[in-house]
């Protein structure tokens, strides 16, 4: 991986005009969802809802310099990730995304080729997750790139899983492993600082592919939703882990009016995350608890589902729901109980996000 500036002979955005640009960028869209009646090209998209299903809608905004840094984020990956983070919210409701809209505010210094790269990533995600790009808006920006994606999905009536259904004794489960995306970001930020001090030095990211990919090209856990359905497990509460495990479990506890006990020794952390954290003098547990952007799923299931969930590949049971009076605790490897504090990683308005 190299940091580079690849605007050789770029095509100016103004050369195409707004409508020309939109037509150019959306010409390769292939619709694949039967529910998409009409996509890009009119005042609104038309979607045919499936009988006995509810519609899910989720939206996110990504801002250059806040959520991503174009120095080390290839535009194709950025387009892919912008879609994935939205789809993740639909899966987190136990639904399946079907359509997205993508709106962009772009600086005039961005070239048509750069936008093509971005859309390549968007369409790659659409293809992989079988969703249709059905609309959006493209406008100019006086400063950086701003991306707004809205995902529209479906869930069978009565099957939507909110944050609020966790009950005492439910098992708390997470998919995959945690903290990797955060350590990937730390690596990229370190190499960026070195690069800024001396642009002759190319980044040393060798052997770190896994955690870099966790940061730059995350995936949404559609496979978990499919698997849960196959196993006949309906979680009582579910969220995707975008801000960090601490933040998300506190949301679930808050909404469900319950407490929790998480066990440090049960947290799934990849060995590369551990060694990289140690290189940075960071505690891997803190990275797993507070590092965001893993886009794994955290969910709770009734204790009766223990056998089923234990046999499910890629799922860790990390604790259980308690009554609200016992608090929201992390039981450390040493056996002490520490209150969980949210330190949402998501680079937002605040530094002391303690809801």
Which parts are annotated binding residues?
A: 43, 58-60, 67, 89, 119, 136-137, 163, 240, 242-243, 293, 345
For helices 209-216 and 180-197, give the axis angle rounded to 10 degrees.
100
105 vs 178 by CB, closer to a copy of itself: 105
Phi and psi torsions of 54, nearest 5°: -105, 160
Site string for a copy of itself, 101-140 (x = CB under 8 A): x-xxxx-x-------------------------xxxxxxx
According to CB under 8 A, which one of 2, 9, 197, 355 is a site residue for a copy of itself? 355
Contacts with a copy of itself in 6-25 (CB under 8 A)? 13-14, 16-21, 23
Position 344 contacts a copy of itself (CB under 8 A): yes
Stretch 164-223 residues interacting with a copy of itself (CB under 8 A): 164
In the bound state with a copy of itself, the residue whose beta carbon lies nearer, of 138 and 332, is 138
Binding residues for ATP: 119, 136-137, 163, 242
Q: How far apart are CA 224 and CA 220, in angstroms?
A: 9
Cα-Cα-Cα-Cα dihedral sign, residues 197, 187, 61, 350: negative
**CB within 8 A of 8, min separation 6: which ones?**
none
Give, in degrees to the nearest 5, the angle at Cα 214 between 119 and 320.
125
Q: Are 156 and 112 in contact (CB under 8 A)?
A: no
Annotated binding site for Mg(2+): 43, 58-60, 89, 137, 240, 243
Told to check if 160 binds a copy of itself by CB under 8 A, we report: yes
Kind and range of the H or E run holding 114:
helix 112-129
> Minimal distance in Å, beta carbon 136 to a copy of itself?
6
Q: Is 45 in the site for a copy of itself (CB under 8 A)?
A: yes
Site for a copy of itself in 51-80 (CB under 8 A): 51, 53-67
Q: What are the φ and ψ backbone dihedral angles of 245, each rounded to 5 degrees?
A: -55, -45
Cα-trace Rg, the chain: 21
Place of tokens 């039967």: 34
Window contacting a copy of itself (CB under 8 A); options: 68-76, 95-103, 193-201, 284-292: 95-103
**Taking the complex as a whole, how short is the minimal distance between the CB of residue 297 and a copy of itself, in angstroms?**
10
């Amino acid at each position: 991986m190299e940091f580079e500036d690849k605007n050789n002979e770029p095509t100016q955005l103004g050369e195409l005009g707004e409508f020309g640009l939109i037509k150019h960028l959306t010409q390769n869209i292939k619709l694949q969802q039967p529910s998409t009646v009409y996509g890009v090209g009119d005042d609104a998209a038309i979607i045919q809802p499936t009988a006995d299903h509810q519609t899910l809608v989720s939206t996110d905004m990504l801002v250059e310099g806040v959520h991503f840094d174009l120095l080390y984020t290839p535009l194709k990956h950025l387009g892919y990730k912008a879609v994935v983070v939205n789809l993740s919210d639909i899966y987190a409701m136990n639904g399946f995304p079907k359509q997205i809209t993508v709106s962009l505010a772009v600086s005039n210094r961005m070239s048509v080729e750069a936008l093509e790269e971005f859309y390549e990533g968007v369409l790659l995600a659409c293809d992989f997750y079988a969703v249709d790009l059905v609309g959006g808006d493209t406008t100019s920006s006086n400063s950086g790139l701003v991306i707004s994606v809205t995902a529209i999905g479906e869930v069978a009536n009565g099957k939507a899983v909110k944050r609020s259904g966790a009950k005492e004794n439910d098992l708390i489960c997470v998919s995959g492993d945690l903290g990797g995306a955060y350590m990937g970001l730390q690596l990229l930020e370190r190499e960026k600082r070195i690069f800024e001090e001396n642009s002759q030095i190319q980044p040393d990211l060798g052997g770190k592919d896994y955690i870099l990919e966790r940061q730059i090209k995350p995936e949404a856990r559609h496979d978990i939703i499919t698997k849960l359905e196959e196993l006949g497990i309906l979680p009582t509460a579910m969220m995707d882990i975008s801000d960090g495990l601490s933040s998300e479990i506190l949301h679930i506890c808050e909404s469900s009016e319950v407490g929790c006990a998480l066990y440090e020794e049960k947290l799934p952390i990849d060995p590369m995350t551990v060694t990289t954290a140690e290189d940075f003098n960071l505690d891997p547990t803190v990275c797993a608890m507070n590092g965001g952007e893993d886009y794994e799923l955290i969910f709770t299931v009734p204790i009766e589902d223990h056998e089923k969930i234990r046999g499910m590949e890629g799922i860790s049971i990390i604790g259980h729901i308690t009554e609200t009076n016992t608090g929201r605790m992390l039981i450390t490897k040493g056996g002490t109980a520490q209150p969980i504090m949210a330190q949402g990683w998501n680079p937002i308005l605040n530094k002391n996000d303690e809801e």
